[in-house]
Amino acid sequence: MSDLHQLVLLTKLAAPQTPSTLVERQHVLERLAVRGRVTLITASAGSGKTTLLSAMAAEHQRVAWLTLDSNDNDAIRFARYLIAALQTLEPALGRNAMALLNGLQQPAIEAVLTLLINEISVAQLAPIVLVLDDYHWIDTPVVHTALAWFIDQLPTQLHLIIASRTVPPLPLGRWRGRGYLSEIDANMLRFNSAETAQLLRQTLSDLPDQATIDWLTERTEGWVAGLQLAALSAKDRANVQQLLSGFSGSHRYIFDYLAEEVLDRLDPATVEFLLATSVAERLTGALCDQLLDWQPGTGAQMLVQLEAAQLFLVALDDERRWYRYHHLFAEFLRFRLQQLDPQAPTEYLQRASAWHAANNDLNTAISYSLAANDHQQATNLIAQFGRDALMRGEALSVRNWLARLPASQLSQSSHLALIAAWSQLLTVDILGIEEHLNQASSLLAALPQAEQARAKAEIATIEAVLLRFGDNIEHSMRHSQAALELVEHDDLVLRGILLGNLTVSARLTGNLTIAVAAASDAVTINQRSGNTFAMLLAIADLGQIQAQQGDLRKAAATYRRGIELASERGWHQVPALGLIHVGLGEVCYEWNQLEQAQTHAEQAIAIAQINGYLDIATDGYRLRARVEHANNERRNSQASIEQALHFAQRNNVGRFVNEVQATQARMALILGDLATVRRWAQSVQQTAWQWQQVSAANTYARWLIANNEPAQAIQLVQPLLQQTLKYGGNRLEWLLSLALAYAAQNNPKPAQTQLEQALAISAHEGALRCFLDTGPVLAQLLREGTSYAAQRAAIVAAMLQHSSTASAAQRLNEPLSEREIEVLKLLALGHSNAEIAERLIIAIGTVKRHVNNLLGKLNARSRTEAVAIARDEGLLH
Query: What residue type is assigned to position 609 of the chain?
Result: Q
Residue 693 confidence (pLDDT): 79
- Give all strands of the β-sheet with 283-284 in edge-to-edge order: 283-284, 322-325, 313-315
- Residue 581's CB is within 10 A of a number of other CB atoms, namely 29
Measured distance CA(696)–CA(703) in Å, rounded: 11
pLDDT tens column, 661-702: 999 999 988 888 888 888 998 888 656 777 777 888 989 999
pLDDT (mean) for 277-303: 93
Phi, psi of 67 (to 5 degrees): -95, 120
pLDDT mean over 823-851 = 81
CB 106 within 8 A of CB 76: yes
Q: Do residues 284 and 323 lie in contact, with contact meaning Cβ atoms separated by under 8 Å?
A: yes
> What pLDDT sits at residue 532?
63
Phi, then psi, of 23 in degrees rounded to 5: -80, 125
Q: Do 422 and 387 meet the contact criterion of CB atoms below 8 Å apart? A: yes
Contacts of residue 686, Cβ cutoff 8 Å, sequence gap at least 6: none
In the predicted model, is pLDDT for residue 20 greater than 80? Answer: no
Q: Is 60 exceeded by the pLDDT of residue 257?
A: no
Per the model's pLDDT, the better-predicted residue between 642 and 407 turns out to be 642
pLDDT tens digit string along 516-529? 888 888 888 877 87
Region class of 257: left (phi > 0), else alpha (psi between -120 and 50), else beta: alpha
What residues contact residue 499 under an 8 Å CB cut-off, 6+ apart?
Answer: 480, 484, 518, 519, 521, 522, 525, 538
| Burial class of 90 by CB neighbour count within 10 A (0 to 12, 13 to 18, 19+) | middle
pLDDT > 90? residue 580: yes
Give the span between the Cα atoms of 159 and 62, in whole angstroms.
11
Note the Cα 470 to chain centre separation in Å. 24
Could you give the CA distance from residue 658 to residue 149 in angstroms, rounded to a whole number? Answer: 34
User: Which is nearest to 45 in space by CA: 206, 215, 226?
Assistant: 226
DSSP secondary structure string for all residues of 357-411: HHTT-HHHHHHHHHHTT-HHHHHHHHHHHHHHHHHTT-HHHHHHHHHTS-HHHHT
CA separation for the pair 712, 741 (Å, rounded): 9
Name the more confident of 806 and 2.
Answer: 806
542-559 tens-digit pLDDT: 998 889 888 999 999 999
Arithmetic mean of pLDDT, 796-821 = 59
* pLDDT value at residue 250: 36
Average pLDDT in the chain: 82
CA–CA distance, 196 with 204 (Å, rounded to integer): 12
Residue 97: count of CB within 10 angstroms of its CB? 27
Q: Which residues contact 454 (CB under 8 A, 6 or more apart)?
A: 488, 491
Report d(CA 279, CA 346) in Å as an integer: 9
> Minimum mean pLDDT among 82-91, 97-106, 238-247, 573-582: which range?
238-247
Q: Residue 104 in contact with residue 394, Cβ under 8 Å?
A: no
Q: How far apart are CA 574 and CA 579, in angstroms?
A: 10
Distance (Å, whole) CA 627 – CA 610: 22
Q: Would you give the DSSP letter of residue 297? A: T
Asked whether 190 and 159 are in contact (CB, 8 A), the reply is: no
4-17 b/e (C-beta count within 10 Å ≥ 16 → b): beebbbebbbbbbb
Could you give the angle at which helices 694-706 and 710-727 cross, rounded to 10 degrees?
Answer: 160
Q: Please indicate, yes or no, whether the overall pTM of this predicted structure exceeds 0.75.
A: no
**Of 311, 335, 333, 334, residue with least CA distance to 323:** 311
What integer pLDDT is reported at residue 249 of this predicted model?
A: 34
- pLDDT 10s digits, 702-755: 999 988 999 999 999 999 898 888 877 888 999 999 999 999 999 989 998 898
Alpha-carbon torsion angle 292, 296, 298, 299, nearest 10: 60
Yes or no: say if 194 and 225 are a contact pair by the CB < 8 Å rule: no
Residue 330 is which amino acid? A
With beta carbons less than 8 A apart as the criterion, state whether 586 and 663 touch.
no
Residues 6 or more apart whose CB falls under 8 angstroms from that of 220 comprise 226, 227, 230, 247, 251, 254
Locate all alpha helices (DSSP H) within 75-124, ordered by sequence: 75-87, 95-101, 109-122
**Quick check: 3 pLDDT over 50?**
no
- φ, ψ for residue 61, nearest 5 deg: -85, -20
210-246 in b/e burial notation, b at 16+ Cβ within 10 A? eebbebbbebbebbbbbbbbbbbbbbebeebbebbbe
Residue 200 burial by CB count (10 A; 0-12/13-18/19+): exposed, middle or buried? buried
DSSP state of 185: E
Instruction: Note whether 155 and 121 are within 8 A (CB).
Output: yes
